């Protein structure tokens, strides 16, 4: 793949048929992804109605249809399409950060007990079980329509939480009627659960602050204890993606659409199938918001009981979503897969108290490294988008083959990081060197003008899915 370097952190793939736009990848040479991911950038550039470019974030790597770390927008009024491959199976997977009224030194005497309580209070793994056992489909319907808003109204949180959630806790336009029976069955059993893979609940401390004013506005200070939760819409979201990819794969021929990869199955945004997917996707997104709200409440109870500390929500933001947004006077369907929306200061979608500072963005690293708090910047590229994490460089099989979960936990606990895993293999699959260097990913994101740094967080203890 031929790339032209335009700046130290921006590379261009020139447009050639059947591409409709060029590819733009925000990376350093050291972070350059595998050829398959770059080919996916090219494939995405062929989508009907795509505008600007097919973008790749600094944590770019190969995925289903779109690469993970891919961003693309299509013009709704010009036949632009929506593609479930541009969102992914874990719809509205995202990150929530809570800040404690506690310095890290105050946690030392109770750390083991706290981690045991968090371990017990956080359902996880591949199967069922969640914080909230819904009695039936009627309550699930409300979760799908109202997201974190319904959870808060049911007593799982406080009104302020919704002000600090993307979309105030619920994506508009959710249509549970577009959610299939099997997705409903899976969703009933998993509300308030972490899942598996790279999902986690991590107790952290603020180790470094780069922008005092913005950090203070976010509610962060040096040495403060925080809790970061990374999870999504579980089996419900996965099933919705599966069902709608199948439907679109059959419908594409009716719209005269051809794609270079069937995993890019798509239909016009304003078609019945497009509206159906967006309604189901919004429902899954609301499930994901409620999911993180419930896990946050479980963490709050543990902190209150063990450490006598309160947790305040800093923000909650997704990194797997497609949204119809207005950019330069056009209605665009912006796909962000493994990419975080990073709104600039004074954007109308920001809560009033954050408007002067931009939107909080959270970049989780890996067990044993660090995570970052960033903020959006004026003019941000790629429709106000930035990276979402460190990005894998090894498959889960490769990672598990080269180390054991027991060895990894011993190594981390030797560095003072308490680890509570659901399985030894699950721990091994998530070893730190299976991922890119998160410091380098964030440096490239900042260097490319996608965002700016606010704070760096280090792990004290982790509950792994």
Catalytic residues: 388
390 in a known ligand binding site: yes
User: How is 123-148 classified by DSSP, letter by letter?
Assistant: --SSS---SS---SHHHHHHHHHHTH
359 in Cβ contact with 317 (< 8 Å)? yes
Check whether 319 is labelled as a binding-site residue.
Answer: yes
Q: Annotated binding residue at 362?
A: no
Q: 376 with 348: CB under 8 angstroms?
A: no
Q: Is 199 one of the annotated binding-site residues?
A: yes
397 labeled part of a ligand binding site? no
**Beta partners for residue 32, in sequence order:** none
- Say whether 366 counts as a known binding-site residue: yes
Q: Structure tokens of 394? A: 């090894």
Q: Check the annotation: does 94 bind a ligand.
A: no
Strand 385-386 versus strand 50-61 pairing type = unpaired
Q: Is 83 annotated as a binding residue?
A: no
Residue 358 CA to residue 221 CA, distance in Å, equals 18
User: Does the annotation list 320 as a binding residue?
Assistant: yes
Place of tokens 């330069």: 328
Query: Has 430 been labeled as part of a binding site?
Result: no
User: What phi and psi values does residue 204 have, to the nearest 5 degrees?
Assistant: -130, 170
> Is 286 among the annotated ligand-binding positions?
no
- Around Cβ 325, how many Cβ atoms within 10 Å? 16
84 is in an annotated binding site: no
200 annotated ligand binder: yes
User: Is 389 annotated as a binding-site member?
Assistant: yes
Q: What is the DSSP string of 197-217?
A: TT-EEEEEEEEEES-HHHHHH
243-263 as b/e, with b when 16 or more CB fall inside 10 Å?
bbbebbbebbeebebebbeeb
Residue 395 near residue 420, CB atoms below 8 Å: no
Please, are residues 194 and 465 in contact by the beta-carbon 8 Å criterion?
yes
CA–CA gap between residue 284 and residue 268 (Å, rounded): 20
371 is in an annotated binding site: yes
Is 388 annotated for ligand binding? yes
The residue assigned the tokens 């986690």 is: 200
Query: Residue 268: beta bridge partners?
Result: 81
Between the alpha carbon of residue 92 and those of residues 88, 186, 409, the distances in Å are 9, 16, 29
H helix or E strand, kind and range, residue 304: helix 272-307
Q: Is 75 annotated as a binding residue?
A: no
Task: Output the known binding site.
Answer: 90, 198-202, 230, 319-320, 364-367, 371, 388-391, 464
Task: Output the known binding site for Mn(2+).
Answer: 90, 199, 230, 319
Task: Output the known binding site for GMP.
Answer: 198-202, 319-320, 364-367, 371, 388-391, 464
């Amino acid at each position: 793949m031929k790339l032209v370097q335009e700046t130290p952190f921006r590379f261009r793939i020139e447009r050639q048929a059947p591409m409709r736009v060029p590819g733009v990848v925000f990376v350093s040479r050291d972070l350059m992804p595998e050829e398959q991911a770059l080919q996916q950038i090219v494939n995405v550039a062929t989508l009907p109605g795509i505008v600007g470019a097919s973008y790749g974030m600094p944590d770019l790597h190969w995925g289903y249809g779109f690469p993970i770390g891919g961003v693309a927008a299509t013009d709704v009024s010009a036949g632009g399409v929506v593609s479930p491959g541009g969102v992914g199976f874990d719809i509205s997977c995202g990150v929530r950060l809570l800040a404690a009224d506690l310095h890290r030194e105050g946690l030392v005497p109770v750390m083991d007990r706290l981690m045991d309580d968090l371990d017990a209070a956080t359902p996880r793994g591949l199967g069922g079980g969640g914080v909230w056992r819904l009695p039936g489909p009627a309550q699930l319907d409300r979760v799908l329509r109202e997201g974190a808003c319904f959870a808060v109204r049911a007593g799982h949180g406080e009104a302020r939480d919704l002000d600090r959630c993307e979309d105030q806790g619920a994506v508009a336009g959710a249509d549970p009627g577009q959610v299939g029976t099997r997705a409903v069955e899976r969703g009933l059993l998993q509300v308030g659960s972490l899942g598996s893979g790279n999902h986690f609940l991590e107790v952290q401390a603020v180790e470094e602050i780069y922008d005092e004013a913005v950090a203070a506005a976010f509610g962060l200070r040096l040495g403060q204890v925080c809790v970061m939760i990374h999870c999504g819409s579980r089996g419900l979201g996965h099933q919705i993606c599966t069902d709608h990819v199948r439907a679109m794969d059959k419908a594409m021929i009716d719209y005269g659409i051809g794609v270079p990869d069937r995993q890019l199955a798509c239909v016009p945004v304003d078609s019945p199938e497009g509206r159906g997917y967006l309604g189901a996707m919004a429902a899954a997104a609301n499930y994901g918001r409620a999911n993180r709200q419930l896990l946050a409440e479980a963490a709050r109870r543990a902190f209150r009981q063990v450490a006598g500390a309160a947790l305040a929500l800093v923000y909650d933001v997704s990194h797997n979503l497609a949204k119809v947004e207005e950019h330069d006077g056009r209605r665009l369907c912006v796909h962000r897969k493994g990419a975080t929306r990073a709104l600039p200061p004074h954007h109308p979608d920001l809560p009033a108290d954050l408007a002067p500072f931009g939107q909080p963005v959270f970049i989780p690293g890996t067990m044993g490294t660090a995570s970052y708090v960033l903020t959006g910047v004026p003019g941000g590229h790629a429709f106000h988008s930035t990276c979402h994490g460190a990005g894998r460089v090894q498959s889960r099989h490769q990672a598990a083959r080269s180390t054991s979960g027991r060895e990894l936990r011993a190594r981390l606990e030797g560095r003072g990081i308490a680890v509570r895993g659901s399985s030894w293999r699950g721990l091994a699959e998530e070893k730190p060197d299976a991922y890119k260097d998160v410091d380098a990913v964030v440096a490239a994101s900042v260097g490319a003008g996608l965002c700016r740094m606010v704070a760096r967080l280090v792990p004290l203890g982790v509950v792994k899915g």
